[in-house]
Structure 1
Amino acid sequence: MFESGQLNPEELAKVAGASMSPQLMGQLFEQVRAMMSDSTGPVNWELATKTATDLATKEQREASSNLTGELQKAFEMAALWLSEVTEFANSETPKQLTRKLWVQDSIPLFRELAEPVATSMSKALSENLRGTVPEELAGMIGPASKFLQNAGAVMFAAQLGQAVGKLSQNVLSSTEIGLPLSSRPGFVTQNLEAFLSELEVQKSEMLIFLCIRELATSALYASNRWLREQLITQVREFAAGLRVDLSSIQELAAQVDPSDPSTFQSVIESGALITPRTQEQETALERIELLLALVEGWADAVSLQAASRLPSHGALMEVLRRHQAVGAAQKTFATLLGLELKPRLQRESMAMWQQVRLSLPLAKADSLWSHPDQLPNAQEIQNPELLISRINGSDDDLDQELRNLLG
């Protein structure tokens, strides 16, 4: 593209992996022309939002009025049943979202998660330019570095916008990626209607079960405000440590076929530009995965208990798990971090929460979420008796201290 001195809109769109309207391509070129001006930051979020919105609205339609009414009734029933099995609640009115509204809700969260990755890559490319440029061209470093940073902001925005736009076409709920997009639970009704139409199980039961699961996850975050910030902080700290493998850039460049721009996208998506994770990052990933598994396992355990009146609640859980295995959470964290959520760990977390909730009073079981230090560790997930003994032992120690004080 640079050798020819020309910018072909169709080829540039292919390189970004984006399917864009002529209007959006025009907006992209506005950004290209601005690459030599003031920096737009590590990600051009205006472009990312427009790219995602363009994809989200491409085949958007309204869900049937029947589903809208059924969903409201299902949420009311779900809230009643959920109140019987947990003290956590969310008083916010559930939302019925279009794909476009889901994008609008999700962009602030993706901004929090993705900017450290983009910043690290932009910094690495800029430093590489300074380290490799011939001495006689040192005076050009400033403008060239600015151009690279702004070009990276545009390309990263196009790639991220496309990923978010594609997610909007498949995601079911506001909490499906494991983190709540907003304080309100909700569903993308168009996607929910398509999902329900393909099921062999009772659709009315599945709708209630999905509402229970959505309310449970939303209530957990609403009642424990530290939890969302803890996860976001862990993800950002890990992402800030990502580095570009500068030594492999030339080798990877040889894999790009100029006649097939999709090969450039494949190289980026393969993660080959990122250096191997350090031991500190591996440990950070384990913490993220553990906390996400605890959230998902708790929501599963509570949902199954609340949905015990539904004759096929076990089958409904398996249907949901199959959806989760290829769903938004898997794609989101794999794309951003190379983090693959392990279904095994989630299942074991659910089994642990089920045993804890049978062995401890409801209030005591819920109180484990009051502080991160209270939560089960990996060993306690594998052996719930260790957790139950720890909690009961802490109570015994407190009782003894009170007796000593009063005696």
Structure 2
Amino acid sequence: MTVDWGLAEKVANQIANRAPFNDVSYLKGLNESFSGFTSTAEKLVETSTGLKSFSGEARAKVVDRSGWIRANFSSLKRLLKPVMAEDSEMKKASISSRIAALEIGAVLGWMSTRVLGQYDLLVLDNEDLKDQDLVYYVGPNICAIERRYAFDPDGFRLWLAIHELTHRAQFTGVSWMREHYLSLVKNLLQEVQIVTDESEEKNNSQIKLLKDPGSSRLTEFKMSNFFTAMDQKDSVKEIAALMTLLEGHGDVIMSRAGKGHVKNQKRFEKVVSQRRKSASGATKIFQKIIGIEAKLAQYEQGEEFIYAIEELEGMDFLNMVWEHPDNLPKLEEIKDPNLWIARIKRLSNE
């Protein structure tokens, strides 16, 4: 696998720079603000979930869109390192490396204009730890949504921090979760095969697109054109099921832990939910191409699963999901919680 990372970052930043509130002056005071809200949110999440991080206190970092892009490229490089080609091989595959760069750059560039917060779960022992295990907040996007909807900044920022700290608690408060998730991703990456189309017509169209890396014609290239998923079916299902659980749990705790602490929480929930679903035109097409639509469905399916288990069996039974990887629900069990309940009861009796 080869990626022209320099081109990818250039494409991402070209897209990001078109969005409003890109001036770094908007970030003034946000680091101090989110440092306090992150600390408060961590305590609220621990009280609500019973999950306490084994990695010490959470650290907040407010970034602009370029900073978010840079951080995610760094994480991607770390994650993809085992399957990346050597430099000599990359030169031989310059076209495919640039096509991959265009796709990755377009995806991260677009996402940098939408993401409000993110927990960086990738921690490697041979990397600088001060740049890892961070909770990122994308300042320009937060300022934009606060101004557009006249949100109370303090309430909205605490509410947002609760969601991100819930994800950190999932990965650092459950001893096996991080390694389990990364093992699933690494298994998937080992199965990935670059799909190359050697037809002259295809190559000519790809080269033409490369001449305009900032092009908004996002439908002209798709990840599905370059990766085959025939051997990835089980891996994809496992990752999708896990992320559905974690995203749903994150939204449930976001609502639950914020009660009594976050003013106007219901309004935040309504606006952000509508924002997730409000894509239209080219944006909606792009969401479909990169799979964001499926991710949006994860929030709802995951929430429904959490609430169903709590209603049928109680919170203590639900918390068995954190005891062992074998207890994680499968996709079909998320859609039918009774299947998961029956399986966990069988496992408990063995």
Q: What is the TM-score normalised by the length of structure 2?
A: 0.72
- Paired residue for 2:117? 173
- Is 1:370 aligned to residue 323 of structure 2? yes
1:216 Cα deviation after fit: 0.6
Q: What's the CA shift for 1:68? A: 4.8
Kindly name which structure, 1 or 2, has the bigger radius of gyration based on alpha carbons: 1
Within the candidate set 299, 307, 311, 1:354 is matched to 307
For the structure 1 residues 192 and 156, does the alpha-carbon distance in structure 2 shift closer, same or farther, using more than 3 Å as the test? same
- For 2:102 and 2:184, the matched residues in 1 are separated by 25
Deviation at 1:45, TM superposition (A): 3.8
Quote the offset at 1:201 in angstroms.
5.5
Task: Find the counterpart in structure 2 of residue 401 from structure 1.
Answer: none
Q: Distance in 1 between matches of 2:11 and 2:287?
A: 17
Distance (Å, rounded) in 2 between the aligned partners of 1:261 and 1:196: 37
Displacement of 1:200 = 5.3
For structure 1, the residue ranges without an aligned partner over 5 or more in a row are 1-40, 123-142, 399-407
- Report whether the alignment pairs 1:43 with 2:3: yes
Stretch of structure 1 that moved more, 201-210 or 348-357: 201-210
Q: Map of 1:42-191 to 2, 5 A cutoff?
A: 42-45=2-5, 48=8, 59-63=22-26, 65=28, 67-90=30-53, 91-112=57-78, 147-150=91-94, 152-153=96-97, 156-157=100-101, 160-161=104-105, 163-175=107-119, 182-191=132-141
Query: Which stretch shows the higher mean deviation, 206-215 or 78-87?
Result: 78-87
Tell me by how many angstroms 1:208 deviates: 2.2
* Residue equivalent to 1:227: 177
Q: 2:271 aligns with which of 319, 325, 344?
A: 319
Cα deviation, residue 381, structure 1: 1.8
Task: Kindly state the Cα deviation for residue 213 of structure 1 after the two structures are TM-superposed.
Answer: 0.7
In structure 2, the residue matched to 1:294 is: 245
Which structure 2 residues correspond to residues 270-289 of structure 1 after superposition, within 5 A? 270-271=222-223, 273-274=225-226, 277-278=229-230, 280-289=231-240
Q: Secondary structure at the match of 1:103?
A: helix
Quote the offset at 1:99 in angstroms.
3.2
Give me the whole-angstrom Cα distance separating, in 2, the residues matched to 1:147 and 1:69: 45
Q: 1:267 to 1:194 in 2, by over 3 A?
A: closer
Q: Helix, strand or coil for the counterpart of 1:185?
A: strand
Letter matched to residue 351 of structure 1 = E
Q: How many percent of aligned residue pairs carry the same amino acid?
A: 19
Q: Distance in 1 between matches of 2:330 and 2:322?
A: 13
Residue 220 of structure 1: how far off its partner (Å): 0.8
Answer whether contact 1:174 1:185 (CA < 8 A) is retained. yes
Between the aligned partners of 1:271 and 1:394, the Cα distance in structure 2 is 39
Distance in 2, Cα, partners of 1:275 & 1:72: 40
* Structure 1 pair 85–254 and aligned structure 2 pair: CA distance change class (3 A): same
Change in Cα spacing, 1:275 to 1:156, as seen in structure 2 (3 Å) is closer
Could you tell me how far 1:320 is from its partner in structure 2?
2.6
Residue identity in the other structure for 2:163? R
1:259/1:354 CA distance change after superposition, 3 Å = closer
Structure 1 residues 264 and 378, CA gap change in structure 2 (3 angstroms): closer
Asked whether the 8 Å contact 2:218–2:286 carries over to 1, the reply is no
The match for 2:195 among 217, 222, 244 is 244
Contact 1:285 1:339 in 2 (8 A): no
Give 2:300's aligned amino acid.
R
- Partner of 2:70: helix, strand, or coil? helix
The 2-side partners of 1:193 and 1:156 are apart by 32
- C-alpha spacing 1:271/1:302, structure 2 compared with 1 (3 Å): closer
Which amino acid in 2 is paired with 1:93? R
TM-score, with structure 1 as normaliser:
0.63
Conserved in 2, the CA contact under 8 Å of 1:43 and 1:115? no
Corresponding residue of 1:216 = 166
- How many residues are paired up? 328
Measure how far apart 1:72 and its partner are: 4.0
In structure 1, what is the Cα distance between the partners aligned to 2:207 and 2:99? 18
Unaligned residue ranges in structure 2 (runs of 5+): 124-130
Letter in 1 for 2:50: E
- Partner amino acid, structure 1, of 2:49: T
- Once the two structures are superposed, residues 157-177 of structure 1 have per-residue CA deviations (whole angstroms, 9 ceiling, x without a partner) of 46534543453344211239x
State the partner residue of 1:137. none
1:84 counterpart SS class: helix
Aligned-partner Cα distance in 2 for 1:344–1:168: 20
Asked whether the 8 Å contact 1:289–1:341 carries over to 2, the reply is no
The one-character-per-residue Cα deviations of 1:144-185 (angstroms, maximum 9, x if unpaired) are x87432454456446534543453344211239x98994122
Paired residues of 1:209 and 1:303 also in contact (CA < 8 A): yes
In 1, Cα distance between equivalents of 2:296 and 2:328: 19
